[in-house]
């Protein structure tokens, strides 16, 4: 009760008062009145106080309490206090941030860096550095204060304390920089041998604990006396055997090692004694054994142990490696020693063995150790592949040691090793060896020819590692083998700023600096930190100085080649800007662009570039010369594609270019299409070109001699030419290109249906539409055909493409009265609003026609959503609720194609920056469940959770919460999708976190504590936030007397078990749904067959459970356990009745057999 008051009083401005309060708080903690774990809620409230002084002094007090607590206490409370401090690091007051850093430093000082590891991943580099400096300075102060009272008797203890402090300082800095402190740990272990055995044991024990805390295996073997080894192996190896191993008579040693081998092979639990046995063999007979037979037996025992145990310690490899490598140099023991090294690689991974061998071979006096060791490495690389190797270290070893050796045997072995690497990584390895002597380069080229690059074929290893060497695999873990350098540190803010300098010389120097950075990295770079660089280079592609543009193109090509396939994600679509440079009238500029494209295709493959190329071919600014050069470039590269069918989307823009006014473009396009025709065949090309307008298709089929689509087009082209003259002058004036497409479409209709379609078009175009025609024309409407033709990506929204807009224009002018079409397609938003008002007036009386043409209207609404005119958008949002109400009244359900057209756009645009628009769109989404089932609607909303627009994500989270609140969690699969919402609680944006917490609180209201089963895997900080929000929700429910969380659901389930499904229906747990019953017969003329599939009556739920098997089938489909039981009872009863031969029920059951099965 007293602590919150004292913390609140810290807001006093008088220093005397605040100092007294701080001393009081410190005294209370020292005297044991409470612990920090007891006052967590009070501290959490204090750090959110609106007065910054309260927040900073509270954190300062917490830091004091942690420093004066013991380690066990801090281990219990750090999970609660670290998230609080991480949140306070974002505070706007510097004093609060500094105090938060002090708390984190105190925690790290008490329990190490492990508890902070996850949280530190969220910090930026500046804060990581500051925290590292603070931890380092605290360690320095410990050193300076602890070295004064050193005495002779306490020298070992003091030295150990100093070493521990230094180790903590280094591990903190390495963890903050993202590197594992392996070397620091090793340095601590090698800091100096202790003189007493007891000190060695203590030191080894402390080191093993430190390494366990860091989750890194202790690879440096601690010293162990022979007497201790002999004592601990007493129960495994006979004392007589060990004494014979010490014998000076080689025959006795040979006999003893044979006996030991048999004893080892008979051991059932070899893992426990593996390290002790290895230590025994290293001691007696030891690696200095002169007898070859004994040497071979020792190596064979080591090999057996390494290949048999489940986990072979790396310490054992370190103990044996020097001796085994010396045995490799001896021709008598070479074969068995190489087998032993291979067994070590299988046990601990080749990365670790290679890393240790580099140093041994480099420093050994016997040149054969180096040459024969490298030859073994050749076979090891061939057996294990390169996935577990640090290739940069291997290449450096080959350059600095192997190729520099004075012995020709060693140089030849090194050349073989580099040749084997070429087999796996390809010619890119040459970039790392550019500074080698010309004579050696010539020998390397010869070796490359013997080991050609095999790519994926060579990737599958012949041998596998039993326990994966995670450290080496992560460091080498790039899919293309060769290491890539992280250049993010070299991309400084100054460099990025200079790329936008007003001085062209500074800009040119910056571009050259980027090129130099890439070359210094051997043209192999990581994508880390390059996003800002690409953004800066994008601006230089539009530089007024053309020489700088060409230099930028060369640099971008170099970056793409050096980065490899990852350039596609990191470049932020800069390829589209590169392709725009083809529109330049200077030939040299276009050549530079094509050179950049050559580099890009070498990195990312042509199939990834196709979408950008399609846009460029359709862009008039590309120019005829640019399109001609691009077609020539495509013709050269299309045959090199891994899957030539990926180039098929280029056929349509190429076909359009066959009618280009430039003869060179037509010739280049024809050449490119002939190349695709040669690769893919006539049938594939003809199938992909059938959707083209008739005039274009006729020209394509004639030029390419496509027999599959050539027949019957001469007559249709004549009819199209005639029909194209029919539209009125006003229509031609508005958009000549669009009406030509419309005429082409009419030609297709003519060829399919004959003359009546042509006559109808004449009537629409020549008479006064406002006076003599109906608003809609559904006579020749084929909704199913349109839905198949309009291909849209399901769930995820994409901006309408040019060809989709053209098809929409054709459909709009064909099925809507001309004055309405001209209004809807006008660029003036006022005319568009007039068109919407005409539709609004006709909606109540022409709902049949509206339903038939609903897909066209929805596509037009999507266009309006994508435009920036708010007035027109608001008018559309006023019209849509009326339209949806009409559809609901007529029991119409959207088709999958209609939903895929409209819903992705509605969801994506629901995060509009105008609040009024957001509200209307949110209400529209909630209204959608009346015309589209909730289970099918949920995937679209979940896709919105992954939107790049934060407002959209917030709206989608709120909508999920609305559906949970009004329809329960079981309906529509909402329960299994809760992890997607819970994941958003880790977002940086506070509004997204708040919305996600509110939605999960709503789920908690329905599910109670069961909600934890469905939220997925969460961090401690996320669980803490959720727990706080759930407690708040429970208190709110208690205030409103709504019961406890989950009570309503439990009561509902009990009611369902007792009374059937009517209670669930009345409570809203089950959303109102269409029930499969008799279809409404409506006079829709041509559209009847299509409409009947989507219009179903809505029946009022019965009050005594399901009345027939159809309703029971619907209840089972909802998936609620209690309701499903009642539904299945009805179905079983009906199936029993259907067995009667005179019953007609069997025929109805057969029709619904598919639904019954599922």
- Long-range Cβ contact pairs of 119-127 (< 8 A, separation 24 or more): 119/82, 119/83, 119/86, 119/1021, 120/175, 120/176, 122/86, 123/86, 123/89, 127/89
Residue 549's contacts (CB-CB under 8 Å, 6 or more residues apart) are 540, 541, 542, 543, 581, 589, 592
Give me 761's structure tokens. 């078009």
Q: How confident is the model at residue 56 (pLDDT cuts 50, 70, 90)?
A: confident
Greatest alpha-carbon span in the chain: 122
Give the residue from 818, 812, 923 showing the smallest Cα distance to 858.
Answer: 812
State the pLDDT at residue 719.
36
Inform me whether the pLDDT recorded for 551 exceeds 90.
yes
Over residues 761-778, the mean pLDDT reads 50
State the pLDDT at residue 188.
37
> Model confidence over 999-1032: pLDDT tens digits?
888 888 888 888 888 888 888 888 888 888 888 8
Over residues 576-604, the mean pLDDT reads 89
> Model confidence over 821-872: pLDDT tens digits?
888 887 788 888 888 888 888 888 888 888 888 888 888 888 888 887 888 8
Task: Give percent of the chain above pLDDT 70.
Answer: 73
Distance CA 402, CA 417 (A): 10
State the pLDDT at residue 986.
86
Average predicted confidence (pLDDT) for the chain: 75
Distance CA 969, CA 999 (A): 11
- Residue 853: burial class (beta carbons within 10 Å; 0-12, 13-18, 19+): buried
Distance CA 831, CA 824 (A): 7
> Model confidence over 329-379: pLDDT tens digits?
999 999 999 999 999 999 999 999 999 999 899 888 899 999 999 999 999
Q: What torsion do the CA atoms of 170, 174, 180, 186 make, to the nearest 10 degrees? A: -20
Q: Quick one: DSSP state of residue 493?
A: H
Distance CA 498, CA 516 (A): 15
Over residues 511-531, the mean pLDDT reads 86
Q: Quick one: DSSP state of residue 301?
A: H
Q: How confident is the model at residue 299 (pLDDT cuts 50, 70, 90)?
A: very high
- Residue 370: burial class (beta carbons within 10 Å; 0-12, 13-18, 19+): buried
State the pLDDT at residue 801.
75
State the pLDDT at residue 790.
66
State the pLDDT at residue 415.
93
Q: How confident is the model at residue 1123 (pLDDT cuts 50, 70, 90)?
A: low
Distance CA 342, CA 464 (A): 11
Inform me whether the pLDDT recorded for 328 exceeds 90.
yes
3-state secondary structure at position 544: coil
State the pLDDT at residue 744.
37
3-state secondary structure at position 1095: strand
Which single residue is written with the structure tokens 């949280």?
A: 119
The residue with greater pLDDT, 132 or 705, is 132
Distance CA 438, CA 361 (A): 25
Over residues 732-761, the mean pLDDT reads 35
State the pLDDT at residue 755.
30
Other C-beta atoms within 10 Å of 1142: how many?
A: 4
Which single residue is written with the structure tokens 């006014």?
A: 661
Give the residue from 997, 1002, 1050, 992 showing the smallest Cα distance to 1023.
Answer: 997
3-state secondary structure at position 149: coil
CA distances from 828 to 250, 770, 801 (A): 104, 20, 21
Minimum mean pLDDT range among 166-170, 581-585, 684-688: 166-170
Which single residue is written with the structure tokens 């020097």?
A: 322
Give the residue from 72, 101, 74, 67 showing the smallest Cα distance to 86.
Answer: 101
H helices within 867-975, ranges in order?
A: 870-889, 896-909, 915-927, 934-944, 950-967
Which single residue is written with the structure tokens 């539709």?
A: 839
The residue with greater pLDDT, 350 or 520, is 350
> Model confidence over 1029-1047: pLDDT tens digits?
888 888 888 888 877 887 7
Partners of 816 in beta bridges: 776
Give me 560's structure tokens. 């793409």
């Amino acid at each position: 009760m007293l602590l919150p008051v004292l913390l609140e009083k810290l807001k006093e401005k008088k220093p005397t008062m605040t100092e007294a309060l701080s001393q009081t708080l410190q005294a209370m903690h020292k005297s044991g009145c409470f612990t920090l774990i007891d006052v967590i809620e009070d501290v959490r409230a204090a750090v959110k106080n609106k007065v910054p002084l309260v927040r900073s002094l509270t954190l300062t007090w917490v830091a004091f309490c942690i420093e004066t607590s013991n380690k066990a206490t801090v281990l219990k409370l750090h999970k609660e206090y670290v998230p609080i401090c991480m949140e306070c690091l974002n505070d706007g007051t510097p004093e609060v941030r500094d105090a938060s850093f002090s708390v984190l430093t105190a925690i790290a000082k008490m329990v190490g860096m492990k508890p902070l590891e996850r949280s530190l991943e969220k910090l930026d580099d500046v804060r990581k550095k500051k925290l590292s400096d603070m931890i380092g300075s605290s360690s320095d102060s410990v050193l300076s204060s602890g070295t004064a009272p050193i005495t002779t008797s306490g020298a070992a203890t003091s030295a150990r304390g100093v070493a521990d402090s230094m180790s903590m300082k280094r591990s903190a800095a390495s963890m903050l920089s993202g590197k594992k402190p392996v070397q620091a740990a090793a340095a601590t272990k090698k800091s100096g041998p202790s003189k007493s055995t007891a000190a060695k044991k203590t030191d080894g024990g402390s080191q093993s604990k430190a390494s366990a805390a860091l989750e890194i295996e202790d690879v440096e073997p601690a010293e162990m006396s022979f007497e201790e080894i002999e004592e601990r192996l007493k129960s495994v190896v006979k004392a007589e055997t060990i004494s014979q191993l010490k014998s000076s008579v080689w025959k006795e040693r040979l006999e003893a090692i044979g006996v030991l081998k048999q004893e080892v092979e008979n051991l059932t639990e070899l893992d426990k004694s593996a390290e002790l046995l290895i230590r025994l063999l290293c001691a007696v007979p030891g690696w200095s054994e002169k007898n070859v037979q004994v040497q071979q037996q020792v190596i064979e025992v080591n090999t057996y142990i390494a290949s048999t145990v489940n986990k072979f310690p790396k310490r054992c490899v370190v103990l044996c490696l020097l001796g085994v490598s010396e045995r490799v140099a001896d021709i008598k023991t070479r074969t068995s020693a190489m087998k032993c090294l291979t067994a070590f690689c299988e046990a601990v991974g080749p990365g670790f063995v290679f890393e240790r061998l580099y140093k041994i071979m480099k420093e050994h006096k016997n040149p054969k150790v180096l040459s024969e060791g490298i030859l073994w490495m050749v076979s090891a690389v061939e057996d294990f592949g390169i996935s577990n190797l640090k290739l940069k270290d291997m290449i450096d070893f080959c350059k600095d040691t192997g190729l520099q050796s004075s012995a020709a045997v060693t140089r030849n072995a090194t050349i073989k090793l580099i040749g084997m690497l070429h087999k796996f990584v390809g010619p890119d390895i040459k970039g790392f060896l550019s500074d080698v002597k010309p004579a050696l380069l010539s020998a390397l080229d010869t070796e490359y020819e013997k080991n050609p690059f095999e790519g994926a074929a060579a990737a599958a290893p012949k041998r596998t590692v039993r326990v994966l060497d995670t450290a080496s695999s992560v460091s080498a873990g790039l899919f293309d083998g060769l290491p890539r350098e992280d250049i993010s540190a070299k991309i400084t803010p100054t460099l990025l700023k200079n790329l936008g300098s007003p001085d062209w010389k500074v800009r040119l120097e910056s571009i050259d600096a980027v090129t130099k950075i890439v070359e210094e990295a051997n043209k192999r770079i990581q994508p880390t930190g390059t996003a800002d660089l690409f953004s800066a280079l994008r601006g230089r592609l539009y530089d007024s100085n053309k020489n700088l543009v060409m230099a930028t193109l060369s640099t971008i090509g170099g970056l793409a080649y050096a980065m490899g396939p990852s350039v596609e994600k990191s470049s932020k679509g800069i390829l589209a800007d590169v392709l725009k440079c083809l529109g330049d009238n200077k030939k040299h500029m276009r050549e530079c662009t094509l050179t950049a494209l050559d580099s890009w295709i070498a990195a990312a493959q042509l199939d990834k570039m196709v979408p950008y190329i399609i846009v460029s071919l359709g862009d008039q600014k590309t120019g005829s010369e640019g399109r001609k050069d691009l077609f020539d470039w495509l013709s050269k590269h299309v045959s090199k594609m891994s899957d030539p069918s990926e180039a098929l989307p280029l056929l349509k823009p190429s076909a359009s270019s066959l009618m280009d006014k430039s003869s060179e473009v037509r010739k280049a396009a024809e050449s490119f299409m002939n190349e695709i025709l040669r690769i893919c065949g006539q049938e594939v090309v003809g199938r992909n070109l059938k959707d083209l307008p008739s005039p274009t298709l006729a020209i394509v089929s004639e030029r390419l001699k496509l027999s599959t689509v050539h027949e019957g087009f001469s007559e249709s082209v004549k009819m199209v030419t005639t029909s194209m003259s029919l539209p009125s002058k006003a229509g031609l004036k508005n958009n000549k290109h669009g009406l030509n497409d419309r005429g082409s479409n009419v030609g297709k209709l003519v060829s399919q249906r004959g003359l009546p379609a042509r006559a109808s078009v004449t009537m629409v175009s020549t008479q006064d539409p406002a006076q003599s025609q109906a608003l809609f024309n559904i006579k020749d409407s084929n909704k199913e055909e349109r839905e198949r033709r309009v291909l849209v990506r399901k769930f995820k929204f994409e901006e309408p493409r040019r060809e989709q807009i053209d098809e929409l224009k054709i459909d709009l002018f064909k099925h809507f009265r001309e004055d309405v079409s001209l209004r809807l397609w006008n660029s003036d938003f006022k005319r568009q609003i007039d068109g919407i008002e005409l539709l609004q007036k006709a909606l109540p009386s022409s709902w049949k026609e509206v339903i038939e043409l609903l897909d066209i209207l929805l596509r037009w609404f999507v266009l309006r959503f994508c435009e920036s005119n708010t007035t027109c958008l608001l008018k559309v949002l006023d019209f849509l609720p009326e339209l949806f109400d009409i559809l609901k009244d007529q029991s119409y359900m959207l088709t999958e194609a209609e939903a895929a057209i409209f819903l992705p756009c509605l969801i994506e645009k629901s995060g509009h920056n105008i609040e009024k628009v957001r509200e209307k769109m949110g209400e529209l989404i909630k209204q959608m469940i009346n015309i589209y089932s909730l289970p099918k609607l949920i995937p679209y909303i979940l896709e919105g959770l992954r939107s790049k627009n934060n407002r959209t994500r917030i709206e989608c989270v709120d909508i999920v919460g609305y559906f949970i609140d009004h329809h329960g969690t079981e309906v529509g699969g909402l329960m299994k999708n809760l992890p997607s919402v819970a994941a958003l609680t880790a977002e940086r944006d506070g509004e997204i976190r708040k919305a996600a917490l509110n939605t999960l609180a709503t789920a908690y209201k329905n599910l109670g504590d069961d909600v934890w089963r469905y939220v997925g895997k969460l961090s401690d900080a996320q669980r803490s936030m959720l727990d706080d929000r759930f407690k708040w929700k429970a208190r709110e429910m208690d205030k409103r007397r709504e019961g406890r969380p989950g009570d309503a659901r439990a009561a509902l389930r009990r009611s369902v078990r007792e009374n059937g499904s009517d209670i669930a229906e009345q409570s809203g747990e089950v959303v109102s749904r269409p029930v499969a019953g008799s279809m409404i017969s409506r006079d829709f003329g041509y559209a009847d067959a299509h409409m009947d599939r989507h219009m179903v009556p809505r029946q009022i739920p019965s009050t005594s459970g399901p009345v027939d098997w159809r309703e029971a089938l619907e209840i089972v489909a909802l998936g609620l356990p209690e309701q499903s039981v009642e539904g299945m009872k009805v179905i079983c009863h009906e199936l029993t009745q259907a067995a009667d031969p005179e019953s007609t029920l069997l025929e109805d059951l057969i029709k619904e057999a598919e639904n019954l099965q599922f």
